[in-house]
Amino acid sequence: MSFFSNLFDRKKLSATAANLGLLKTDMHSHFIPGIDDGAKTMEDSLRLIRGMKELGYEKVITTPHTMSDYYQNTPGIILDGLENVREELKKNNINIQLEAASEYYVDYEFGEKLKRAEVLTFSGKHVLIEVSFLNPPDNLEATIFNLNIAGYKPILAHPERYPYWHGNMEKYERLRDMGALLQVNILSLTQYYSKEVNQTAMKLVDLSLVDLLGTDMHHDKHLEAICTRALYEPYLHKLLESGKLLNASL
């Protein structure tokens, strides 16, 4: 990108940083060390959570991956890790409310866990789910139906990042009509992931289809990108000012 392109791009940014403190709660992050592709060490966890507090968050619901083929986390593993991080937060005088659930990959094992009621929930039986980035899921609508029937409240993580739905706003509307909440990543409001992801996220905002914002923070690069770029994105300001986000109710 040329100097002039960079200059033009900066002119589109807001002059003031958005106040993420308005959200109060973040419900998508990876801060339990060593159990997925997020924080690797306790030092990583503390640094990232301290960053969340500095951004204005009062509560963090961290959500490590549960995937049958990669991250075989159980409620016990996650909750033990949560207690370890809480102890270190207290020792280091980092005053922020920390809870944990999981980001469940919708696969056969998740269906079995659901039947056995072995899923971690937050804030009134909310369950965070994700699907493949490569192939359209065959079982997502059935999973949303089963979650609702069982009394859970499904939240689909970063739907704007699934390339096979780009340009298909009817799909997002259908998922919401079925009872799924849609959670967009803050960094999707920039071109951090890709231009296509950014465009889809902005369309979701324009159509009032975004229910929740999440950091999906894994590492320092995510924190830096939020602080140096995302906070100045007009669409983040627009979404925060809409009054339609549910984060503060969690």
Q: What is the pLDDT of residue 137?
A: 95
CATH number of domain containing 147? 3.20.20.140
* Separation of alpha carbons 104 and 225, rounded Å: 25
Q: What is the pLDDT of residue 191?
A: 97
In a domain, 10, yes or no: no
Q: Structural domain tally of the chain?
A: 1
In a domain, 11, yes or no: no
In a domain, 8, yes or no: no
pTM over 0.85: yes
Torsion angle (degrees, nearest 10) of CA 26, 32, 228, 234 = -20
In a domain, 4, yes or no: no
- Residue 170, helix vs strand vs coil: helix
* Separation of alpha carbons 19 and 17, rounded Å: 6
One pLDDT digit (tens) per residue for the chain, 250 residues: 333 333 335 448 888 999 999 999 999 999 999 999 999 999 999 999 999 999 999 999 999 999 998 899 999 999 999 999 999 999 999 999 999 999 999 999 999 999 999 999 999 999 999 999 999 999 999 999 999 999 999 999 999 999 999 989 999 999 999 999 999 999 999 999 999 999 999 999 999 999 999 999 999 999 999 999 999 999 999 999 999 999 999 9
In a domain, 9, yes or no: no
In a domain, 122, yes or no: yes
In a domain, 100, yes or no: yes
* Separation of alpha carbons 43 and 45, rounded Å: 5
- E strands, 170-221, in order: 181-185, 212-214
Q: What is the pLDDT of residue 5?
A: 37
How is the chain split among helix, strand and coil, in percent rounded to 5? 45, 15, 40
In a domain, 235, yes or no: yes
H or E stretch at 39: none
Range of the domain at 26: 16-249
- Residue 191, helix vs strand vs coil: coil
Q: What angle do CA 148, 31, 48 make, to 5 degrees?
A: 130
Residue in 62, 63, 58 with CA at minimum distance from that of residue 22: 58
H or E stretch at 99: strand 97-100
